[in-house]
Structure 1
Amino acid sequence: MPELPEVETVRRYLAASLPGKSITAVDVQLPRLIRNRTAEDFAASLPGCTFTAVARRGKYLSLMLNSPWCLLVHLRMTGRLIYESDTTAPLPPYTRIVFTLNEGRLVYGDVRTFGCLWIVPAAGPTGISGYDSLGPDGLSEDFTADYLWQQVHGSRRLIKALLLDQTCLAGLGNIYADEALFLAGIRPSRRCSRVTRKESQRLYEAIRTVLTEGLENGGTTVFNFIDGSGKEGKNQENLRVYGREGQPCPVCGATIVYKKQGGRGTHYCPVCQK
């Protein structure tokens, strides 16, 4: 699933491409992707609206319009939002929704079709529980070392489970959680109550580091991620443990371990992460 760096990479491209462009038509080819309107109402509500900005919170994209409403998108596993200036070219594979614009088109594609789109109020609560309950964004000023320690201190949860909880920290997913825990030297199965204040500080710094690296490298493409122009990311070339099971640890040379934890694949070094 695209995580904060991937979604922010898409946001930056769309933020440079969409504002000022107006929607002239909407073709919904897979109605079940629209979650809080009928496909017919969704397609009828947007023509005539002009994009004003593109925002992000956690793994959600908000496509702001010159109206009291905005288009909220969660890419889930394999969703893609691509802006194309050439409307004569064939549509990309797995196209599910086409927003025809006065200049170009915005295409939503999805291989596994788990993505979600909503029309929600531009300000205030959206009525989407997963969005309204989000914790601080992983790259925001609200996410501080003191905040992380407050979440970790005394909790009986496993540290990785806490990091993946979007109500605690928005934007972090399986890839960057594994990478941050490795940098901090904390095993994913450690109980939060056994994490010291010093380790929590290291984890905070590691989270900031891996998210920033992912963003600087255009996101991580393991399977399907592409940015708003259709290009793959490059951060997969810099991963230290994720997806490297059976390979030597880049620090100590021990074999990277892969285990299922809470239903999620987890990668760690058994020596560096005690």
Structure 2
Amino acid sequence: MPEMPEVEVIRRILEPQLKDKQITDVEILNKQVIAYPDENIFAELLTKQTIRSMSRRGKYLTIHFDNGDSLALHLRMTGQLLVMPQDMPVEKHTHLLVTLSDEMQIRYIDVRRFGRFWYLKSDEADTLTGQDKLGTEPLDDALTPSYLKYKLAKRKKTIKEMLHDQSIVAGIGNIYSDEILFAAGIYPETKCTDLEDSDWNRLSAKIKEVIAWGVDVNKMTPEEYLAGKGKEYRNIPYLRVYGRLGQHCGDCGTIIEKITIGGRSSCFCPVCQKKL
């Protein structure tokens, strides 16, 4: 699943291509990806809208229109959001085609079909997408050691699990939680109740550092993004523990290990992230 850094990169690539374009046609190939409203009303509302901007909140993207309406979407596990010439062949697993006034097309491709779209009118409160329940952004000034301690210090779950809680910090998933905990030197199965002030200080700093790194390392041109079909990210070769089971830690040389926490795998260095 793309996490906050990848979704932010997608926004930065697509927004300039979409800004000021009018939607001339909408073709829904699989109504399953349309969460709200029903597919017929969705297509009717979307047609003839002019795109003003694009924003991101956590792992969500939102396209804003001139009339104040908006289109929110979540890519989930395998969603790909592309802008390409409308005469290009339509690939298998394409579920939505949105034609623009410059004869380009927004295409949504999703093998597992978990991604969702919501069309919200300007006078509708967003109680549907889940964005109203999101916690602070990883790079926001509100993310401080005090904030994390206040939200988590009394929780008996592991810090690995709680980094995935989108109501605490929005946008962190399995990849970046591994990388953050390694950078902070915290064993992933440590209970939040066992963390000390020094841990909260390091964790707050490393969340910002690792997420900012993720945005930077994933930078690419629109041409590179389209060539990779919106699913080839640049961070993989540089990850320090995630997906490195059996390899040597780059800091100390110890073999990277893996455990399962809350149904999710977690890679870590047993020396750099000592168990309490």
Superposition TM-score, scaled by structure 1 size: 0.92
Q: Which residue does 2:90 correspond to in 1? A: 91
Structure 2 residue 242 is the aligned partner of structure 1 residue 233? no
Checking the alignment, whether the CA contact within 8 Å between 2:30 and 2:96 is kept in structure 1 is yes
Percent of matched pairs sharing the same residue = 38
Q: CA deviation at 1:67?
A: 2.1
CA contact (8 A) 2:118 2:129 kept: no
Q: Which moved more, 1:235-244 or 1:116-125?
A: 116-125
Could you say what the CA RMSD is over the residues aligned between the two structures, in angstroms?
1.9
In the alignment, structure 1 residue 202 sits paired with structure 2 residue 202:
yes
1:1-274 pair list within 5 angstroms: 1-84=1-84, 86-103=85-102, 104-122=104-122, 125-128=125-128, 130-218=130-218, 227=225, 230=229, 232-274=232-274
- Counterparts of 1:254 and 1:123, CA distance in 2: 56
Aligned-pair distance for 1:227?
4.4
Distance 1:183 1:228, change over 3 A: same
Report the Cα distance in structure 1 between the residues aligned to 2:176 and 2:120, rounded to whole angstroms: 29
- Residues in 2 aligned to 1:101 and 1:195: alpha-carbon distance in whole angstroms: 51
Question: Which ranges of structure 2 fall in alignment gaps of 5 or more residues?
Answer: none
Q: Which runs of 5+ in 1 are unaligned?
A: 220-225
**3-state SS of paired residue (1:113):** coil
Q: 1:77-107, CA deviations, whole angstroms, 9 ceiling, x for partnerless residues?
A: 01011112x2222124421100001011111
One-letter identity of the residue aligned with 1:75: L
Amino acid in structure 1 at the alignment position of 2:89 = P
Greater than 6 Å deviation, 4+ residue runs: none
Q: Secondary structure at the match of 1:90?
A: coil
> Which whole-Å CA distance do the structure 1 matches of 2:226 and 2:59 have between them?
15
Pair 1:190–1:7, CA change in 2 (3 A): same
The 8 Å contact of residues 180 and 206 in structure 1, kept in 2 or not, is answered as yes
Aligned to 1:222: none
Q: Deviations over 1:20-41 (max 9, x none)?
A: 0010111110101111211111
Paired residues in the alignment total 268
Q: Secondary structure at the match of 2:35?
A: coil
Q: What TM-score, normalized to structure 2?
A: 0.92
**Distance change in 2, residues 1:166/1:121 (3 Å):** farther
CA distance in 2, matches of 1:227, 1:208: 25
Shift, 1:234, TM fit: 1.1
Asked whether the equivalents of residues 248 and 254 of structure 1 are also in contact (C-alpha less than 8 Å), the reply is: yes
Cα distance in 2, alignment partners of residues 143 and 121 from structure 1: 31
> What is the CA–CA distance in structure 1 between the aligned matches of 2:225 and 2:74, rounded to whole Å?
14
